[in-house]
Every structure is written in C-alpha cells, then in structure tokens.
Amino acid sequence: MTSAMTEKIPPQPVDSADVTSDSYNHLEITWSEPFSQCGDPSYNVSRRLLLIDQCDDSMADMVTREVTGDPIIEYDDLLPYSTYVFTVLATLEGYEAETVFFITYNSTESNSTGPPEYFTVASTVKRKLDYTWSSPPCGDRNGALSYDYEFGEAGGDEVQRENLMMTSQSFEDLKHYVMYEFTVCPRTVVGPGPCIFNQTRTLPSEPIGLLNTGSEVGSTNQTYTIIAWEKPESINGLFLRYEIQKDNDDVIMIEEEDIRMYEFSDLEPNNEYTIQVRAVSNGGNGAWDSVDVTTLPIPEPNTPAVPLFKAKNDTSISIEWPLVDDTNLGIYRITHYTVSYSSSTGDEDTIDVTYITSPMVCTIAPLEPGTEYYIKVRAVNEGGPGGWSESLTESTEPKPTTGGPNSLAVGLGVGVPILLIIMVSSGFIVYKKRRDAPPTPPKEYDLENVPADENGGTSNPVLVRTTIPSTPKAKPPVKQRPPQHEPIHISNLAKVIKAKRMSRDGFEKEYKALLNKSDEGCIGNNPENKPKNRYKNIITYDEHRVKLNKLPTEPGADYINATFIDGYKKENAFIASQGPNAASLNDFWQMVYEQRTSTIVMLTNLLEKDKKKCIEYWPSAGNHKRYGELEVIAREVKDEGSYVLRKFEVGKPDRTTNRLNITQYHYTIWPDMGVPESSQPLLDFRDIVKNANPADSGPIIVHCSAGVGRTGTFITINCMIEMIEAEKKIDVFNFINEMRKRRAFMVQVQQQYEFIYETLLQWSHCEKVSFSIIDLPTTVKTWGTIKDADGRTEMSRQFEVLEYMAPMESTGSDQKGSLPVNAKKNRYPDRVPVDKFKPLLMTKGDEVDDNDYINASFFDVEGRKNVHVCTQCPLMSTVGDFWRLVWDYDIHTIIHLNEMDSTCGQYWPDSDKTNFGSFTIELLSDRTLTDTMTERVLKVTTSKKKGERQITQLQYLGWPNDSLVPRSKMDFFELLTQVDNNNTSEKKFLVVCMDGVGASPTFLAANAAIDRVREDKTVDIFSAVKRLRKSRPGVVDELERYEFCYDVLAAYQDSVQTYANYM
C-alpha cells in the first residue's frame, strides 16, 4: 500500500489590514486571513517606533508579538504624535509567507505635557514688552503646536486672549510702570498643555498731567500761605517725591505721596511769589505746575479824629486826640503818630510821637508868636502812614511886649524844650534799639537744671513821655516780622497739621516763635522769695501773680509762685501754680481758701524718675492737718484708674462757718517733659473736671511740678475745646502767647505743643475712641455702619485722623536703608525703616560688605520702649543678618506671619541642623499645633561668640500674602494666645512678615489691644496704632487691618465669655 505525502507550502501572505484607534495611545489592527489548505496560520506582528513626536528619530528595536487565533492585535502604549511601522507576517508550521504586510501609522495628538522653553521678556523700550519662547522639548509636544496666550494688567479686569502659530509676541502702547501678566500655553488639536506665567513691569517714565496747584482759600495773609495740589494724572513709575520751589529758592522735597500741601510762613507782605510744584518718579521729573501767590499788604491805619486844642503860649501849642482803633491791624499795630503843623507863611514840619497814651498828647514847639497854625495827625505802622486827619486851626499867643526880667524866662521857655527834645531823642534811640533787638529763642528745658542766667528775654524798656521833632520821611521799610497766626477752622485742622508735619520744621518753627519774656525785676527773684520757688527760672510775672492777703510785716509775705490765666472769654478762669514745696505749703492752702477755689487739678506725681516733683500737701484719708491758719480734712479718696479723686474740707479751726469743699483731681499718667500716650483718658478727665466745677466757684487751680508744661498744655486744650464749641475754630499759638505774657514757658516743650493739636483734632473729628469691652459689639456695629453727611463711618474717620497724626518722619532717600550699599537688603525699595527706630547689628558679619543695617524697626508697648522688633522675611542674602539680629537683641520668640515665596530665604532647617555663615541652627523639635500653626524649637550657636540660645518659632500659616488680613480671626486669636503662653516672662518678640510693615504691626496692634483689655477692660486700638506709627509711619496701613483688630477683640471676648459660661 502506497501512502501519499501532502506537500507543505507557505501560507498566503496578508494582503490587507484595518487600523482603528480611539485615543492617541491605543491601536487595534485587524486583517483578513489568507486562504490555506493546510490549517490555520499564526502571525508575527512587529512594531517599530520611527519618529517620536514628529521631531526626533528613534533608534528603537523592532518588537514582535505572535498572534494565534483571530487575526487582531491591540496596543495601548503608543506615544502621541509619533510614527510607527507595523508588519504582519503569516506563518504555518514553520513556514513563512513570502511577503510581509507593512503598515505605517501616525498616532494621534494629545495635550502637550511640557510648557514652552527658553521663555524671555524684554522691556527695552517704554510702553512695550517683547515676549519670546521655544516649543516644549521633543517628547512633550504631543501634536502640531499653536500657542494660546493671555495678556493684561495684573489684577485688571480686561484680558487679551489669542492663539498664535508663532513663538513670539509684542505689545505696544502700554501704560508706564505697570505690572503686566502674560501666560502662554502650547495647544494641540486636543487642547492646551502646561503654561508659563510671567509678571513684568514696563519701564517707568516721568509723571504726566497738571497738578492743579493752587493756594488754599483764605490761607494767605501778609506772611503766610498754604498751597495744595492734586496727584498727577499718572505717576508713571515709583513715586519718589514732590518738589516745590518758591521763585528761585532751594527746592523743597516731600517724600510722602499723599501729602499734597505745603505751608510757607516766611513771606514778605504785598509781594508776588511764583510757587511751582512737580512730581518726580523713578522715570524722571514731571512738568512744573505753578501758581502765583500775592501776599496781602500791611493794612493801613485808620484816620485819626481832628486833634483837640489843650494849651498854648506864645511859642508852643499842646494838642490831644483819641487813640485810633488798631485791633483790625493784627500784628501790625500802630507804632507811632506823626503830627504835621504849618502856617500860612511857613513850610510844613512834622513831629513823630512814639509814646502811646490814651489820649495821645503832643506839645509843638518852638513856634512863632501870634501865628496861626494848621495842625493834623496821622497814625503809622510798619506798612506806612494812614490818612491825615482834618486840620485843627490854632494860633499861638502874641509875643510879650515888655522886656526886663522876663527875658530870661522867655529864653528858658524856648531853650529848655529844645534841650529836652535832644535828651529824649537820645533816650528814644536807646529804647528803639532795645525794642527791635531779636528775642532770645525759647529753649526746651529740664526746669530743675536751668541756671539762673539762662532765663532769656531782654530788659524791660524805660518809656520816655515826650515828642520828637523830625523831618518828613519816606515810607518806612517793611521789616521781617514773625508770621501771623490766624485762627484755624476745624474743617481745615487736619490739613494744617499735615502741612506743618510735611514741612519738616513747621511745628518747630512755630513753637520757637512763641513769646519768651524776661522775668527781670519780678519780686519772685527777691532773696526772701527764692525759697518759695521750686525752680529758679520759673517766676510768676508781677502784673498777674496771685497775691496773698497777708499783712506786710515781712518782705514777700504776699508772694506765691502762682499766676492768674484767662480762660476762653473768661477772665482769670485758672490759676497756674507750681507744685507746692515745703516753703510754700501753707501759702498754697491760703491761696485756695482766699480765691474760693472748688477744684484743684494736679498733673504730676510726687516722685518721677527718682526726683521729687511735688510735696504731698494734703492729709491722708480720714485725717486732718493744719496748714498755717487753716485746717484741711480729707473726707474721701477714690482711685479712678487714670486719676485719683480726693475731697477735702477747708476752713479755720473751731469754726463751722465759711468752710470750703475742695475736690482735687490727680491725673497720674502724664510723664514729665512729655505727653500722655493716649489723648482719650485726658479728654475724659477734662470733661469730668469741667462738669464738676461749680459755676460760682473761684479759679480752677492747675499745677504740675513747675506749673508750666503739663499745666499750660491742659489749660490750652480745655480752652480750645470751648472755642471749638463756640466758634468751630482754634487759636493755639495766640492763646499760648497770651499765657506766656503772664507766666514763662507755658507749654514747655514742642512735643506738648504738637500734642495739643493732635488732641484737638481727635476731639473735633472722632467720637470717644476708647470704651469698655462690655460695649464692644454695639460700639463696633455703630462705628462700622452709621455714616456721616460725607458718607464716612466713625471707623473710617478714626483711621483718617491717624493718617494726619502720624509723624512725617522721612522714609525715603535720606534714610540709611536707602543707601546703595543697603538697597540690595530691602525687599521693597520704598519700605525702609526710620533711622531713629532701627536696630543696629553688632555681631560682625561674614561677608566683606556686611554692615550694621537690617530692614527692621523697634516698636514700643505701653510704658516700655523698643520692646518688639518687626522685620521683613529674610532674603536669600540676608539670612545671616537675620540671625545676627536675633542674637544681638537676645530674642527668644519669633512669630512668622505670611507665606514663604521664592524671594524668601528659609532661616531654619527642616531637619537636623544647618549653617548660615557663622551661625549654626539646630532643629530640636517640630510639632503641628493646629491646621494653621507650627511650633519649632531651635538651638542657635555662633562661632564668633560663646554660649547658645534656645528660640521658639511660631509659624502662622493662615495669612496669605495677597490678603490684608488672616483668613480666620479665631485662628489668629489662637496664635496670640499661644504667643502669650510661650512668652510669659519676657513679653518681647520678633515678628516677621513679607515687608515688616503690613502684617507684623497689625499683629502687635491686636496684641496690645488684648493686653489693654486684660489690664483695665478698656478697648483703645486707636492709641495702640498711633503708638506704633511713631516708630514707623504708615504701619497698619489699610482700614481693613484696623477693623480686623476689633474683630480679634471680639474673638477674645467670645473666648472669655465661653470660659465663664463653662465655669
């Protein structure tokens, strides 16, 4: 039997295939099975990647998979936008088809997985930005690319959007010095990929737009004007300053952008000035904007009445006339009168009468006997003469017809007046020189250390009653006089205060212009009275001193160092007195009794800075004591916090009639030679005194230690408030000048002078700024919702007043932080500390150019100076300086606010230890306290000094950099509580935020407010912020931050109430 063998033949090749895909990485290939007589073939399917992302050749190997059964294969790992080659080869029992089926496949696109590369931005031309970039790297493109971009001002509402095929874009006609945001994203047909974001500021330019400079309405007088201007239309850069120039004088620079007023107080009367102002940015100088100001002429005196005949003889005529009213002339009062006389046959002659009497008198001599004269008068001041009066016609007596013995008398009658005139002329010249001598400038004294020869002032001039003949003369030259100080309407008060602060020496110049009168010749300087004076240079002037009713059995028996002071439209409303010493103790109570005083205001403590300031001149509570002829009984003593109230009964012993009830108000929180930290307690104190003083009582006695500084300040504030109530005006300068005519050095230092203005501004523009914590919810609601006629809430009014109160210490180019060597150490070039309140680094730095500068400021707390430090978050280059600050000032607690960004240098290790120059920082512990608070304990050592420090850092994570306030007031209150718990002993810490002036001082204000509430249950955030701004103007810089401090107090109140309810 013969068997037949079947011949094995290769399978038929695959001749067609279908490719399907539902995503870039997924592929399905199917093909038709070739005909085969010998069974079902299998297939070797191979794949090779040829081109990645259509931009890079691949060297990948061929990868083969065997397919049996159904002719289908799937791939799910393809790369997008790439080229693959697939082959399908049929095999059967070891035989392969003669041909291979080839498939070339391009995968579909996907979103790009990488951002553009090599991004650049150029700002080489003003108002233009050029952006360029390259495609994402090959392998991340994932498709044919175009580019989506968005462009617009940072924080703006308008955004320009477009799709480009190019890799560059330019923008023109942009605004100067504006931050623009540009975002570019690669796009495939599927959609956009990762983007690049950029913020770039255009180049600065000079400011544009007129400032509309003008003179404040009603502000210009003979020597003074206030000019004001508006902000330029666009500053076009970083504001540097305003420049002001009067005519060709030196340029005045103002470095606060919101200060747009300036006060000129040294002008000449009846003069025209061109004053120009321009804004300066880091892009250049703006155009000058000018205003012409013409000062008022010196007012001309009124015309006198017709002179009246008084007496005459054959060679003289005596006349008189009433004084001309010169109250309307301000400081330009009448200096003398000119008398003109002429006959019908002779020339006109004149006499200057310089001694002012009421009525005025003048004897005209020598005249011709029996001659008719025409006599007229006019008044003269520094601006020149006024109009002539109508003429008096009067004749001299006829010449005597007989000679003999009377001839000598006639000769004397003529000769003696001439001799007197010559003698008096010499005397007048001496007097005139003395009167025109410049006054001794006032000084700020510690009154206990003033030697007797430093009283200042000049000798009292001796006035000579006479007439002085003279030839007619031209209009006298105008002399430079102290500036005229007109009353200020309260609607302009804030602007005036800011203008004075803005002019740097505005308050200083005004204070130094106050009267400084001599006390020469006063009986207080007599030997018998010197023991009664607490300070040898504070003597009451004789004319207005209080005189005791004592028999003149001994010299000086009626003397006490006390002065009558007028109130507002009330004569002798006050007595300004020194604090009694042992020699004047009995006299003090006699003065109280004789003046029928009901109220004593005491503004000093018995002992201050280890110096005795006043004797305890009253008996202890419940006791009585004899002072001279009087008995004083202490009926009541009550401590009211900021003051102590004492009630006394005063009278003669063993008598029940004619006894006085006296109340002493002893204010205890006013430092010597200084001012209270807060005006509000003093304003409350003033109201209590005023309301309690009986209307029919004698003068209120006010005393401190010397009876001039605090005493003068209190009286001025009291009277100016009364003036505001009556006239809506204040007149501080002239009121103090009038007081100084009676008692030297009233309002003793410039700081007190400025405090008066601040206090009056607060009283006139704000409601009571402090209140009990019990009233917090209702008060804050009222302050935040009820608006005045101008649409402002009480909260916003307070914040505005704080802006005007802050001292205008320069924070600009004249501070050391702005020097080129230090500029690189500042995160923001316009935020540098005030030199006066800047800590100096003492540990030597590690770099060659290290110095003592760091961008940080000291801040006071109530009753303690330079306690806390606020600083910017360190830059990469200033971390070493940061640790020098911590080491040099022995800081043990650091509070870190705000988030860290790319500009911040992390100054602590994440684990173990790290070195920052010569400092080694070791992490001892790191624990999370809450979702927003982390506590780290660090050990600090330095190779330059012995010892080690342990520092606690509390990092608060709930205050975003782009937010004015934290996200949660309760979280923030927890931070304050934790700080208080960690810092119970030293109460001193370093507060860190991005700029050192935003978040950090807001933290200090809230912390101080809580401390105050814990101490006496009083809310006074206004005073806390005011105190902070003395160290660094502009802190707590937004109303929202100010309001947030009240929110934190509300959180504190909630926590206290919750605890109380739990207990």
Q: What is the pLDDT of residue 985?
A: 59
Contact 875, 853 (CB under 8 A): no
Q: Which amino acid is at 589?
A: W
Between CA 836 and CA 809 the distance in angstroms is 9
Predicted pLDDT of residue 78? 93
Tokens linked to 555: 């010299």
Contact 238, 282 (CB under 8 A): yes
- Quick one: pLDDT at residue 878? 94
Asked if 522 is an active-site residue, the reply is: no
CA-CA distance, 80 to 46, in Å (whole number)? 19
| Extents of the domains making up the chain | 17-106, 117-202, 211-295, 308-393, 508-764, 815-1061
pLDDT in tens, 426-435: 333 333 333 3
Residue 436 to residues 335, 385, 539: CA-CA distances in angstroms? 12, 19, 25
Q: pLDDT below 50 — which residues of the chain? A: 1-4, 403-480, 808-813, 1058-1063
Between CA 639 and CA 646, with CA 643 as vertex, the angle to 5 degrees is 60
- What is the phi-psi region of residue 829: left when phi exceeds 0, alpha when psi lies from -120 to 50, beta otherwise? alpha
Query: What's at 724, amino acid-wise?
Result: I
Closest CA to 394 of 310, 304, 321: 310
Question: Residue 1046's CB: how many other CB atoms inside 10 A?
Answer: 19
> What is the domain class of 815-1061 according to CATH?
alpha beta
> Residue 46: which H helix or E strand, with range?
strand 42-52
Indicate the angle between helix axes 794-805 and 490-502, nearest 10 degrees: 40
β-pairing verdict for 945-956 and 893-896: parallel
Residue 707 identity:
G
Contact 653, 631 (CB under 8 A): yes
Contact predicate 694/597, CB 8 Å: no
613-626 pLDDT, tens digit per residue, is 999 999 998 899 99
CATH code assigned to 308-393: 2.60.40.10
Start-end of H helices in 595-729: 679-692, 709-727
CATH of 211-295, one of 1.10.10.60, 2.60.40.10, 2.40.30.20, 3.40.1410.10: 2.60.40.10
760: exposed, middle or buried (Cβ count in 10 Å: 0-12, 13-18, 19+): buried
Residues 381/298, Cβ–Cβ less than 8 Å: yes
Beta bridge partners of 350: 340, 470
Q: Which of 177, 150, 154, 174 is nearest to 164 (CA)?
A: 150
Helix 679-692 to helix 750-765 angle, to the nearest 10 degrees? 80
User: Which residues, at least 6 apart from 790, have a Cβ–Cβ distance to it below 8 Å?
Assistant: none
Rounded Cα gap, residues 634 and 770, in angstroms: 32
Does the reported pTM lie above 0.85? no
* Whether the domain at 508-764 and the domain at 815-1061 fall into the same CATH topology: yes
Helix (H, G, I), strand (E, B) or coil at 461: coil
Q: For the chain, give me the number of helices (H) and strands (E)?
A: 16, 56
Residues 843-894: tens digit of each pLDDT: 888 887 789 999 999 998 877 788 899 999 999 999 999 999 999 999 999 9
Backbone φ, ψ for residue 778 (5° rounding): -70, -40
Cα(986)–Cα(868) distance, integer angstroms: 11
> Which of 298, 286, 589, 336 has the alpha carbon at shortest distance from 473?
336
Which of 2.60.40.10, 3.30.56.10, 1.20.58.100, 3.40.50.300 is the CATH number of 17-106? 2.60.40.10
Architecture of domain 117-202: Sandwich (2.60)
Q: Give the pLDDT score at 358.
A: 82
185, 522, 719, 993: the catalytic one is 993
Candidate list 704, 719, 870, 873, residue with the active-site label: 704
pLDDT at 344: 80
Does 1045 qualify as catalytic in the annotation? no
Q: Which long-range contacts (CB under 8 A, 24 or more apart) does 443-447 make?
A: 444/673, 444/748, 444/749, 444/750, 445/537, 445/745, 445/748, 446/673, 447/535, 447/537, 447/538, 447/705, 447/706, 447/708, 447/709, 447/745, 447/748
3-class secondary-structure state, position 755: helix
Architecture in CATH of 508-764: Alpha-Beta Complex (3.90)
DSSP 844: P
